């Protein structure tokens, strides 16, 4: 797979729900949808409250502070004062880094994710 092949693909939340529901046919589609949306909502709440999220083998989510600075309006070139703010940050885990950088035979995905690959 070339670099352009990887960057052209995108998995949306609805794609994820559809794939998981199809692969977990013992679960109702609505249950899968509620689980995915609930997970994402909980993760958002934890980050918003300043907590770090760690999913072993996948990665960690945290907040990084960007200090106030002077930016530029791209149209006019005028200086614009930008306030400091927190931005979400994802740090991939070792297993995820190794998996996406494999150069030989791709590793099989877990059975519940196979249709996503």
Domains, the chain, in order of start with CATH, read: 10-101 (4.10.520.10)
pTM score: 0.73
As given in the structure block, the two tokens for residue 65 are 């502070």
Residue 13 CB neighbour total at 10 angstroms: 11
Does 29 or 102 have the greater pLDDT score? Answer: 29
Q: Beta partners for 64?
A: 87
Q: Is 25 helix (H, G, I), strand (E, B) or coil?
A: coil
Average pLDDT estimate for 42-59: 96
First-to-last alpha carbon distance for the chain, in angstroms, is: 12
Q: What pLDDT sits at residue 2?
A: 52
> Rounded to 5 degrees, what are φ and ψ at 14?
-65, -35
Q: What pLDDT sits at residue 3?
A: 53
Average pLDDT estimate for 66-84: 97
């Amino acid at each position: 797979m070339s670099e352009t092949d990887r960057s052209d693909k995108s998995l949306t939340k609805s794609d994820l729900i559809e794939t998981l529901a199809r692969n977990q046919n013992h679960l109702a589609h609505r249950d899968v949808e509620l689980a995915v949306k609930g997970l994402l909502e909980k993760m958002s709440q934890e980050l918003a409250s300043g907590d770090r999220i760690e999913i072993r083998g996948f990665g960690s989510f945290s907040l990084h502070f960007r200090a106030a600075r002077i930016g530029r309006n791209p149209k006019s070139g005028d200086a614009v004062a930008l306030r400091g703010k927190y931005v979400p940050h994802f740090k991939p885990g070792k297993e995820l880094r190794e998996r996406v950088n494999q150069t030989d035979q791709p590793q099989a995905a877990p059975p519940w994710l196979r249709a996503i690959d």
